Amino acid sequence: MMPGSKKVFDEAARVLPGGVESNFRLLDPFPFYATYADGSKLYDVDGHELIDYLMSQGAILLGHRRKDIIDAVRAQIEKGANTAIPTELCVRVANKISSFVPSMQKVRFCNSGTEATMHAMRLARGFTGKDKIAKPEGGYHGVHDYGLWSLWAPNDIMGDEKRPNATPFSRGIPEAVKKTIVIFPFNDVEATYDILSKEKDELAAVITEPVMGNVGCLLPRDGYLTELRKICDELGILLIFDEVITGLRMGRGGAQGLFKVRPDLTTLGKVLGGGFQLAAFGGSEEVMNELTTVRKDWPPMTFHGGTYNAHPVSLAASLATLKALEDDRVYSGIERHSKSLFEGLQDVCDDNRVAAYLSRCRSMGHLYFDAREITTARQANNTNWEKLGKWCMECLLEGVMFGHPKGEKMFLSAAHTGHDIDRSLEVADVGLKAVR
- 131-182: per-residue pLDDT in tens? 999 999 999 999 999 999 999 999 999 999 999 999 999 999 999 999 999 9
Strand ranges for 317-363 from DSSP E: 356-361
Tell me the per-residue pLDDT of 265-289, one tens digit each, with 9 for 90 and over.
999 999 999 999 999 999 999 999 9
Task: For 104-129, write each residue's pLDDT tens digit.
Answer: 999 999 999 999 999 999 999 999 99
Domain segments of the chain as ranges: 67-324
Contact 371, 361 (CB under 8 A): no
| Percent of the chain with pLDDT strictly greater than 70 | 100
pLDDT at 28 over 90: no
Whether the predicted pLDDT of 430 surpasses 90: yes
Please report the pLDDT score of residue 27 as a whole number: 83
- Report pLDDT for 218: 98
CA distance 384 to 36: 32
pLDDT digits (tens, 9 = 90+) for 320-351: 999 999 999 999 999 999 999 999 999 999 99
Compute the average pLDDT of residues 89-109: 98
Q: Which of the four pLDDT bands, split at 50, 70 and 90, describes residue 434?
A: very high
Q: How far apart are CA 358 and CA 336, in angstroms?
A: 17
| Distance set, CA 244 to CA 142, 185, 372 (Å) | 10, 20, 28
CATH number for the domain whose boundaries are 67-324: 3.40.640.10
**pLDDT at site 25:** 87
Provide, for the chain, the percentages of residues in helix, strand and coil under a 3-state DSSP scheme, each rounded to the nearest 5: 45, 15, 40
pLDDT, residue 254, reads 98
Annotate 86-135 with DSSP letters as a single string. Answer: --HHHHHHHHHHHHHSTT-SEEEEESSHHHHHHHHHHHHHHHH---EEEE
